[in-house]
Amino acid sequence: MLDSEAVTTIVRLGQSGWGAKRIARTLGIARNTVRRYLAAGGPVPYRQPQRSSVLDGHAAWLRERFLQHRGNCDVVRQQLSRELGIETSLCTVERACRGFLAEREVARRDTRRIQMGMKLARFPCMRTLEGFDFEAQPSIDPGQIRDLATGRWVGHGQALLLLGPPGVGKTHLAVALWREAVDRGYTVLFSSAAALMAGLTKAHADGRLEEKLLQLSKPKLLIIDELGYLPLEPAAAHLFFQLVSRRYERASVLITSNRPVGEWGQVFGDAVAATAILDRLLHHSQVITIRGDSCRLRDKRRSGLLQKAAAPTPITSEN
Ligand code: ADP
Ligand code: MG
303 contact partners, CB below 8 Å, separation of at least 6? none
- What domain range includes position 24? 4-40
Helix (H) or strand (E) holding 252: strand 252-257
Domain assignment present for residue 207? The answer is yes
Neighbours of 262 (CB within 10 A): 9
- Tell me how far the alpha carbon of residue 294 lies from the centroid of ligand 1, in angstroms: 8
Domain assignment present for residue 137? The answer is yes
**Do 141 and 265 belong together in one domain?**
yes
Question: Residue 304: its pLDDT value, please?
Answer: 62
Give the closest residue (by CA) to ligand 1 atom 21: 169
**Do 161 and 309 belong together in one domain?**
yes
Site to probe by mutation for ligand 1, drawn from 172, 229, 259 as the one with most ligand atoms within 8 Å of Cβ, is 172
CATH code, domain carrying 26: 1.10.10
Could you give the CA distance from residue 129 to residue 292 in angstroms, rounded to a whole number?
19
Domain assignment present for residue 109? The answer is no
**Do 133 and 243 belong together in one domain?**
yes
pLDDT tens track, the chain, 319 positions: 778 888 888 888 888 888 999 989 888 889 999 998 998 887 777 666 667 888 989 999 998 898 888 789 999 999 999 999 999 999 999 989 988 887 777 767 766 766 666 665 555 566 788 889 998 888 999 999 999 999 999 999 999 999 999 989 998 999 889 888 877 778 888 888 999 999 999 999 999 999 999 999 999 999 999 999 888 877 899 999 999 999 998 899 999 999 999 999 999 988 999 999 999 999 989 999 998 877 666 666 666 655 544 444 433 333 3
Name the nearest CA neighbour of 155 among 252, 70, 244: 252
Total tally of structural domains belonging to the chain: 3
**Do 146 and 245 belong together in one domain?**
yes
With a 6 Å cutoff on the Cβ, whether 127 touches ligand 1 is: yes
Domain assignment present for residue 298? The answer is yes
**Do 151 and 260 belong together in one domain?**
yes
**Do 177 and 310 belong together in one domain?**
yes
Domain assignment present for residue 114? The answer is no
Question: Residue 309: its pLDDT value, please?
Answer: 44
With a 6 Å cutoff on the Cβ, whether 132 touches ligand 1 is: yes
- Tell me how far the alpha carbon of residue 115 lies from the centroid of ligand 2, in angstroms: 22
**Do 140 and 185 belong together in one domain?**
yes
Atom of ligand 1 nearest to the CA of 136: 23
Question: Residue 128: its pLDDT value, please?
Answer: 83
With a 6 Å cutoff on the Cβ, whether 179 touches ligand 1 is: no
